[in-house]
Amino acid sequence: MEQRNKTLGEYIIEKQSDFKLSSGELSRIINAIRLAAKVVSHKVNKAGLVDITGAAGNQNIQGEDQQKLDVYANEVFISTLTNREIVCGIASEENDDFIAVHGSDGADNNKYVVMMDPLDGSSNIDVNIPVGTIFSVYRRITPIGTPVTLEDFLQPGDNQVAAGYVIYGTSTMLVYTTGNGVNGFTLNPAIGTFYLSHADMQIPKSGKMYSINEGNYIHFPQGVKDYLKYCQEEEGDRPYTARYVGSLVADFHRNLIKGGIYLYPTSSKAPKGKLRLLYECNPMAFIMEQAGGKATDGFNRIMEAVPTELHQRIPFFCGSSDMVDKAHEFMNKHK
């Protein structure tokens, strides 16, 4: 008889010992994210049937138009984490400032802060392209019992205790790491349960796909332009195939499974890069390194960058180790 896959709940209980210095809070955070993901997945799958697509009429702190689903997903994840009294602070790409979370007794005894992009790629929701949620968990720096401060959020990626993403596509998957490998769980919508479907995920050392918005080619640094020419040359296993969805979670997930490289470099239009260090790059870098890949800013490890502001942007080179190394060769020629 074929063995039934573990549920996410069973897996969390089994791996509780991986959560050092935790007495159950980290497991409860993952469980809360699991619940919020199911709620958002249900709403995403109803897009087009209910009034949930299109712009909300507001802009976030980055000056980007908020979609209705951005606002909805943000509220769902914040309320789910807040109501369970398991975190002391939350920072979201959709909020100007971080949110301090106090216990029902007014105390600040929780140990962890969560940072998230509640709905990455939401501009694609109107055209039925996969979108996702990205999250990152840190242990607070300030003393337990005191209010959370900005210092608790401005930590380098190496301090992460957990990170993951949820992709809402042909199926809904939750992929996460606690620093002991990467595992993926697929939602069975009939019964609302996530099952372990992708155990110990490892990215191939090299791949044949590159993901970048080539419409910005003229604005890229010379090192990136030269690397793209290399990708397109007919030699050996090249040319590579260009695959770019415009939704980080979708592009990252495909490359993680099949091998490839994702690039969002600096440009004359975005001199600091476009992706956010805390909400997108750090969690994805943690996952990628745990899966055997690399994540850099074109020169240095993403997870060594020390944040100076909540919504800081950074260039992002991420994927199969051999491909990232080759991109570095071209970047260093023009450093």
Q: Which residues are annotated as a binding site for substrate?
A: 120-123, 213, 244, 262-264, 274
Closest CA to 37 of 184, 205, 157: 184
Q: How far is it, in rounded angstroms, from Cα 116 to Cα 74?
A: 9
335 vs 113, 216, 271, 291, 324, CA distance in Å?
Answer: 36, 20, 15, 28, 16
Helix (H, G, I), strand (E, B) or coil at 265: coil
Closest CA to 194 of 183, 180, 202, 203: 183
Q: How far is it, in rounded angstroms, from Cα 28 to Cα 179?
A: 17
Which tokens go with 309?
A: 């502001």
Which tokens go with 141?
A: 């720096």
Q: Are 100 and 122 in contact (CB under 8 A)?
A: no
Sign of CA dihedral 87, 91, 95, 97: positive
Residue 77 DSSP symbol: H
Beta strand 89-92 pairing with 99-100: antiparallel
Binding residues: 93, 117, 119-123, 213, 244, 262-264, 274, 280
Q: How far is it, in rounded angstroms, from Cα 327 to Cα 277?
A: 20
Binding residues for Mg(2+): 93, 117, 119-120, 280
**Residue 64: CA atoms inside 13 Å, Cβ hemisphere, count?**
18
Q: How far is it, in rounded angstroms, from Cα 52 to Cα 131?
A: 14
Count CB-CB contacts under 10 A for residue 175. 25
Q: How far is it, in rounded angstroms, from Cα 101 to Cα 153?
A: 13
Helix (H, G, I), strand (E, B) or coil at 49: coil
